[in-house]
Structure 1
Amino acid sequence: MRTITTTLISAALLAMGCGGATEQSSSESTAFTDSITTQSVTYQAVGDTAIGYAAYPADTAKKPAVLVVHEWWGLDDYTKRRTNELAELGYVAFAVDMYGQGRTAGNPEEAMALAGPNYQDPQAAKQRFDAALAQLKSLPGVDTTRIAAIGYCFGGSMVLNAVKLGDQLQAAVSFHGGLKGVPADKTLLTTPILICHGAEDANVPESDVTAFKAELDSIGADYVFKEYPGATHAFTNPEATETGKKFNLPIAYNAEADTASWNDMKAFFEQHLH
């Protein structure tokens, strides 16, 4: 294990979330820019219709791909922007709809109601994750031997649970995700992990950090833990500060930590996907 503290000067989980078998699919709402193509993709997950979001680089050669798991607010514009940015880096990217029907939350109570079942039943959440993963692998231009997943807040927790439960990816990244989850098993956890954590995250106390590191160290897991001084929960989302004020949540945007963590992700991908 490597623990790295980034020299920066630099959500809301509410105990759970953040301040955000595949059948034949159909695609709609295709859009184009100079460098990428985007589209909504409808697929089936755990008996429900899910509405994911795909972004493709202009180049049609086979590429590594990244699955993106949203904050507890659902698959919103922020998640789509991150998905687009991954495509601009040269990855095929696909954003998961963990709630089905494209549902999103307008307040913390709605977000908790949507996110809660995924925490309460990790295996069902993994099935939703896996349905999206299968959909990603079926998209044009995907090199299925080079797949990663990233997640934000709630999504970070879902990514960590998926790889702890045996999903075999080339890389997994959690941005300000919760660290309490299913137990780590050395026979199941084989994916290299990058944790991007705000050092001032009130929703993930130091005791959770200590326990998480100890658990992964005990099984010899391949992980890197990076902390960003001054960064709170949801530090990558530019809307977090205003959302925190609106709902009295301990979340805020931190531009330095956002940039540093994105660069750390890019370096991690260079190591494991290329």
Structure 2
Amino acid sequence: MRALLMLLCLIPGLMISSAIAQTEAQPSQAESGTDINIAWGPRVESEIFEYSTGGNTYQGYLARNANDDTPRPAVLVVHEWWGLDAYARARADQLAALGFVALAVDMYGEGRTAAHPDQAGEFSSRVMQDWPAARARLEAAMSQLRDHPAVADTGMAAIGYCFGGGIVMNMALSGMPIEAAISFHGSPTQAVRTPQEFEGVVRIHNGGADSLVTREALTSMASTLKAQGADVEVINYPDALHSFTNPDADTVAEEFGLPLGYDAAADAASWQATLLTLDRALNQ
């Protein structure tokens, strides 16, 4: 019914430090009659990653570089209010290609997704109104992820989009064990009743023209996080609307009459900044 949000390709020309972009090359091969060595780049493989809590089963999406035998840092990807769709999986694939083990989590259970904004709003509101249950889902995913042989024991980070951005901000606000929480056009709704100390990094990438996020709510969330010890920075992108990182935002906006819009410049800038943040937080 609705074209699922999908990122079609990696941002071209992105430069990142070798710590992030590590790929284990297979044995170099010299072309016949030349001295040119050819190494293999990343080979992203994915799998359904099931975890359970509260009697319910959740179906995440795990992506990693199969050409790399060295354990790597893990990053959680929290989906938009639509659920764990193609867009969230594509972001996980990107992170895997850049040297992380990425888990796109399932916040709704059984991998369900919404086909209409009304249904998406119902699903997301239900999660945000019961933060202890939401936290339990995230903790179950993180606990199982730590046991994966491809994951290094160097800490985790979390990134999230729209609804997912709100989730990762609340992860930091509740003192969950992550090194960085990075939100893209996230909803700054405080779901945590009693904020806890958090000494990690919080980066909030926000559309300067986003009518769905008020300046007051954004400032309140950032101030509360800073008061708990977080290294907080809010980056506003001029003229960018809600969902500015998603190439299919314009199509969804037209279909449902929503104030969304893709902004290629803001998408590229926020993604590059995120990779640098992850490098500092997880690769020392």
**Normalised by the shorter chain, which TM-score bucket?**
0.7 to 0.9
Q: Does residue 53 in structure 1 map to residue 61 in structure 2?
A: yes
Helix, strand or coil for the counterpart of 2:183? strand
The equivalent of 1:142 in structure 2 is: 151
Aligned counterparts of 1:213 and 1:158: Cα–Cα separation in 2:
14
Name structure 2 gaps, 5 residues minimum: 7-40
Instruction: Tell me which moved more, 94-103 or 132-141.
Output: 132-141
Equivalent positions of 1:105-124 (< 5 A) are 105-124=114-133
Would you say the 8 A contact 2:51–2:59 is kept in 1? Answer: yes
Cα offsets for 1:151-197 (capped at 9, x unmatched): 11101111111221120211111111011214586743232111111
The equivalent of 1:168 in structure 2 is: 177
Cα offsets for 1:119-174 (capped at 9, x unmatched): 11111111111111122212221013221111111011111112211202111111
1:209 to 200, 218, 233: 218
Would you say the 8 A contact 1:177–1:197 is kept in 2? Answer: yes
The equivalent of 1:37 in structure 2 is: 45
Residue 269 of structure 1 deviates from its aligned partner by: 1.1
Aligned counterparts of 1:187 and 1:43: Cα–Cα separation in 2:
26
The higher radius of gyration belongs to 2
Instruction: Quickly say closer, same or farther: Cα 1:102–1:78, change in 2 above 3 A.
Output: same
Q: Does residue 266 in structure 1 map to residue 275 in structure 2?
A: yes
Normalised to the residue count of structure 1, the TM-score between the two structures is 0.84
Aligned counterparts of 1:42 and 1:180: Cα–Cα separation in 2:
28
Would you say the 8 A contact 1:235–1:253 is kept in 2? Answer: yes
Instruction: Tell me which moved more, 167-176 or 38-47.
Output: 38-47
Give the count of matched residue pairs: 244
Q: Which has the higher contact order (CA 8 A, sep 6+)?
A: 1
Residue 247 of structure 1 deviates from its aligned partner by: 0.6
Would you say the 8 A contact 1:199–1:229 is kept in 2? Answer: yes
Alignment RMSD, CA only? 1.9
Residue 93 of structure 1 deviates from its aligned partner by: 0.5
Identity of aligned residues (%): 41
